[in-house]
Amino acid sequence: RQTNEGRVGCPGRPCDALFYPDVDLARHLSAAVFHSYTQSRLDLLEQRRAAELEGEMQMRLEAELRRLQALDEQQRHVRAVRNHIVEEILTLKCPRCGQAFLDFVGCFALQCSRCPCGFCAWCGVDSGGSNAHEHVRNCREKPPGADVFFGTFEQFEAAQRRRRRRALLHFLPRLDAQTRNAVLQEMRRDLADLGIVDAAGAPGIPVGAAVM
């Protein structure tokens, strides 16, 4: 009945004749029988439509589920990239063992508290030994007029901003545009607080990486 939508066909088998038109049935059937016939057809059509709508809804739900799963995956990727930037770029750490460095006492020849690594506060480079003074003396990132070994906390902070910006500019082009923009949007306040970008955008960051 669902296949022919409740229409009346030839009782002969097999028969390829078309279904009887409703107007012809109305002429030969009583009003009560024809009303029962049309009501049955309407019920069948409503059932069919309900089944079609259920199928469409199921397809929409499945498509939405796939979209949400993809979104969740993208969000996880964005969070992983954000964590990488925070831990590997924004945090000053020992270039040899990865120990975070917190205490600046005035000398730009830094010493790791975990391993025997001496590294430079101007550029963050491992000196290759346990004493970074010789590297600091000749560091190319040291601005003109700076002391041979020592500097102010403001100079230290400025050096870290330059180091972070340089590392960020090196890292960002490796990301696809969608991830790059999402990460910069999520980190806009953090980067602004560190003085790497302002609250409105990302000066110096390559085209396509700007905060949208």
The answer to whether residues 93 and 100 touch, using CB atoms and an 8 Å cutoff, is: yes
Q: What is the pLDDT of residues 166-190, one digit of tens each?
A: 899 999 999 999 999 999 998 988 8
- Rounded to an integer, the average pLDDT of 74-86 is 88
* Secondary structure letter of residue 41 according to DSSP: H
Separation CA 84–CA 76 (nearest Å)? 12
Confidence tier at 103 by pLDDT (50, 70, 90): confident
Q: Which two tokens stand for residue 154?
A: 């403001």
DSSP strand pairing (109-111 vs 118-120): antiparallel
Question: What pLDDT was estimated at residue 128?
Answer: 93
> Which residue's structure tokens are 């972070």?
164
User: Residue 131: which of 121, 122, 120, 118 has the closest Cα?
Assistant: 118
Question: What pLDDT was estimated at residue 68?
Answer: 67
Confidence tier at 194 by pLDDT (50, 70, 90): confident
Separation CA 188–CA 185 (nearest Å)? 5
- Sign of the dihedral through C-alpha 72, 74, 80, 86: negative
Can you give the pTM of this predicted structure?
Answer: 0.58
Residue 61: what residue type? L
